[in-house]
Amino acid sequence: MSHLLEKLNQAQKQAASHMDGPFVVFAGAGSGKTRIITTRIAYLIEHGVRPWEILAVTFTNKAAGEMKERVEAICPEAKRATITTFHSACARWLREFASELGFQTNFSIYDDSDSNKLLKKLLKEANPKGDIPNLLADMKSFLHIVKTNGYFPSDVERLHQEMSHLIPIGGVALYRRYQEELANCNAMDFGDLLLNVLLLLRRNKTVSDILSQRFRHVLVDEFQDTNRTQFEIIRRLSERHGNLFVVGDDDQSIYSWRGATPANIIDFQRTFPGAKKIALEQNYRCSGNIVKAASTMIAKNVNRAEKTLFTEAHEGDSIDLHIESDGEMEAWWVINSIKQERPNFPYDDVAIFYRTNSQSRSLEEALRRENIPYTIFGSVEFYDRMEIKDILAYLKVLVNPNDAISITRIINTPTRGIGAKAVETIERETKSRKLPMMDVIRQLADEKIPRVSPKFRFFVDLMDALKKDLLGRPLPEVIETLLEAIEYPEYLKKKFPDQYIDKTDNIHELGSAIADFAKREPEATLDDWIQSITLVRDRQDLDTVSGVSLMTLHMAKGLEFRRVYLTGIEDGLLPHRNSVEDNQQLEEERRLLYVGITRAKEKLSLTGASRRRTFNNYVVNSPSRFIAELPQETLNVSFAAKQVLDAYRADDEQPDEEYFEHTQEEYSYEPEPEALEKGSSVSHPTYGRGVVEGFETKFGQTKVIVKFYDFGFRKIKASQLNAASSSLDY
């Protein structure tokens, strides 16, 4: 037996040592799926497969980097294998075969901002008096659907037959016009990177033969997240040799809104008759109670491959279930628990998950109030910031002069007196003369049009000089030289005096990024760097995070933490109110909770609130229906949670407002009592004994925040509290 298989369990060995033919691995959460893929790549090479005949694809740059690093550690020859993301692989092939599609090899890749700008322009042309924001949203949604499902503008009949209810008015014609404009700009959007490769595989026998012959073995990670376009690309790439090896977990398919199709993995053996299957069911990440709770709950889903997650780890702590009176008190309970447990769980080991971004506000406020460091994931990405996009637009035009979207961004940035009307003239003439936009600007500059021609001439001469200077420079010098040439720092200082330092810091960080890239890839060009950062859409690197991590459940997939708080376990949030009427969507909500639970390695708390404030009103939420699906023996139900659950069980409906009069006092504020301070022991006629944890002042009035022994946190009028003996141990 190969030494590569020595540390694998029996199921892992069977998967990693498979040689030929289609094979699907259902890898449960924490079952070591990445080890399977890396070991298999090394095993194939050890058994005579040439590294360059191996293609392994996944979804994020971070995951691809980790896979590459791990496989090269055990098999240095694997550095010649292609281990990458779907989008990076397709971008590489499109550079190679661009001419087959009528593109130049230096085509631009449009991000969402670039795509939106082009779509707005086309929508205004087609419907000048229309509601552009709503039309744009509808069109973006339509384009996402058609491109993830492999529809081209020429598929008019299929589109109307299969998704007529999803097509906006004029949507198919605008789709065709949008694709034509992209081609005129020598540009593709993110969806096109996949769609155009699929077009080549479907229609171009030469390219199809080259790519399918090139890769004898194709491996796919996170196969449950593939959409129909990705699935067909993979199927066509592997059909010559038939060696398709996929790993995934349908129980973790939570991206249907991105087009992910769990049926791709569930029905794998129907699609590929004779395919072998194995399930990796042993979890190596979580404690026994966490695994038991997750496995029992997810078994309630009907549309799934049969498997049962188990672990040989000890049971560990029970899962805390706690329900507070409102969202703010829930946040206080979580943050107080984090503080108390800090000796066992440092802040860097702790994560707080929530279903929607709006839930983070009360958590952030409580963390800041207690001076607890934290990082929130999902904020505006670095490469989407205004000043970064400005600099990148200049560089994109230098590499691809036909990039009309980037040209319109920079032609008057910094300000050169080329206003909106002048830009409209350029766009109109570009359309009329059927020439690339930069060529039209050159012509207009020569036509001596009063007031504008000199400004156009200045811009054209500037870009020519920049191209001559910058494209011959070492990459680390490019940005600094560009900034000086266009006087961008002066522009920022004048236009954004209050944000000048932050924006300048961001540009310096961009300079660091290109210098780091040049160090890693000494032979790379400016075009290579632009492509590398355009394709980067990964979340922040957890290795650089300090403090508690806050993120949505969707962001949490693929991560793990020693200590996890999963908040908002309420109907309306989890499952989300938009999903409760549809069985398929409800099953995805259950999978989402499953993903959250299985991120916790050692300890997990599930928390909720009886009601949440929305503007000036409260919304009453019942406890999540998923709570009843968790094995009771795995839970540690707080007294407060038990009261709420009992109230719902008794009435089988939402308690009326009288219930809340007994679980939380109405908010009214009195001055902070001099006799009370943080740590004071107090008693309350309804809640009993507790300890003062702090004071909250709003609108000049103060309430006491008390942690009661039996009821958790409450905000209480000082007049209702009495001093108590401090002998109780909390």
Contact (CB, 8 A) for 250 and 268: no
**Per-residue model confidence (pLDDT) at position 537:** 46
**Per-residue model confidence (pLDDT) at position 78:** 92
> Among residues 152, 185, 218, which one ends one of the domains?
185
Per residue in 127-136, pLDDT tens? 887 788 888 8
DSSP-based three-state secondary structure for 425 = helix
Measured CA to CA, the distance from residue 351 to residue 374 in angstroms comes to 9
Indicate the pLDDT class of residue 310, thresholds 50, 70 and 90: very high
68 and 203 in a single domain? The answer is yes
Indicate the pLDDT class of residue 288, thresholds 50, 70 and 90: very high
**Per-residue model confidence (pLDDT) at position 508:** 84
Q: Is residue 250 part of a domain?
A: yes
**31 known member of a binding site:** yes
Per residue in 369-394, pLDDT tens? 888 999 888 654 567 788 989 999 99
Measured CA to CA, the distance from residue 163 to residue 167 in angstroms comes to 7
CATH of the domain at 513: 1.10.486.10
Indicate the pLDDT class of residue 322, thresholds 50, 70 and 90: very high
Which amino acid is it at 460? V
CATH of the domain at 25: 3.40.50.300
Full-model pTM: 0.76
Long-range Cβ contacts of 146-149 (<8 Å, 24+ apart): 146/175, 147/191, 147/192, 147/194, 147/195, 147/229, 148/191, 148/194, 148/227, 148/228, 148/229, 148/258, 148/259, 149/227, 149/228, 149/229, 149/259
Contact (CB, 8 A) for 51 and 78: yes
The domain tally of the chain equals 5
Q: Is residue 565 part of a domain?
A: yes
Per residue in 152-184, pLDDT tens? 988 877 877 877 788 888 888 899 999 999 998
Measured CA to CA, the distance from residue 415 to residue 707 in angstroms comes to 58
58 and 157 in a single domain? The answer is no
Indicate the pLDDT class of residue 226, thresholds 50, 70 and 90: very high
Measured CA to CA, the distance from residue 273 to residue 267 in angstroms comes to 10
Phi, psi of 458 (to 5 degrees): -60, -45
Q: Is residue 325 part of a domain?
A: yes
81 and 225 in a single domain? The answer is yes
**27 known member of a binding site:** yes
> Among residues 280, 315, 336, which one ends one of the domains?
280
**30 known member of a binding site:** yes
**Per-residue model confidence (pLDDT) at position 438:** 93
Per residue in 488-521, pLDDT tens? 998 988 888 777 777 887 888 788 878 878 888 8
**34 known member of a binding site:** yes
414 and 435 in a single domain? The answer is yes
Close Cβ partners of 728 (under 8 Å, ≥ 6 residues apart): 681, 689, 709
**Per-residue model confidence (pLDDT) at position 650:** 60
Q: Is residue 644 part of a domain?
A: yes
187-189 vs 23-27, strand pairing mode: unpaired
Phi, psi of 107 (to 5 degrees): -60, 150
Indicate the pLDDT class of residue 218, thresholds 50, 70 and 90: very high
Q: Is residue 293 part of a domain?
A: no
**Per-residue model confidence (pLDDT) at position 659:** 38
The number of residues in the chain equals 730
**33 known member of a binding site:** yes
Measured CA to CA, the distance from residue 298 to residue 304 in angstroms comes to 9
433 and 343 in a single domain? The answer is no
pLDDT at 709 over 90: no
Ranges 24-38, 98-112, 241-255, 607-621: which has the least confidence: 607-621
Q: Is residue 285 part of a domain?
A: no
**Per-residue model confidence (pLDDT) at position 312:** 92
328 and 455 in a single domain? The answer is no
Q: Is residue 664 part of a domain?
A: no
Indicate the pLDDT class of residue 111, thresholds 50, 70 and 90: confident
Please give the residue range of the domain that contains residue 247.
3-96+196-280
pLDDT at 542 over 70: no
117 and 142 in a single domain? The answer is yes
59 and 76 in a single domain? The answer is yes
What residues pair up with 576 in beta bridges, in sequence order? 572, 573
607 and 560 in a single domain? The answer is yes
**544 known member of a binding site:** no
- Which tokens belong to 276? 């072998």
606 and 688 in a single domain? The answer is no
**495 known member of a binding site:** no
Q: Is residue 665 part of a domain?
A: no
Measured CA to CA, the distance from residue 183 to residue 181 in angstroms comes to 5
> Among residues 535, 553, 570, which one ends one of the domains?
535
**Catalytically active residues, by annotation:** 33-34, 221-222, 252, 599
* Span 553-561, average pLDDT: 91
523 and 550 in a single domain? The answer is no
Indicate the pLDDT class of residue 665, thresholds 50, 70 and 90: very low
Question: Which of 150-159, 277-286, 325-334 is the most confident on average?
Answer: 277-286
215 and 322 in a single domain? The answer is no
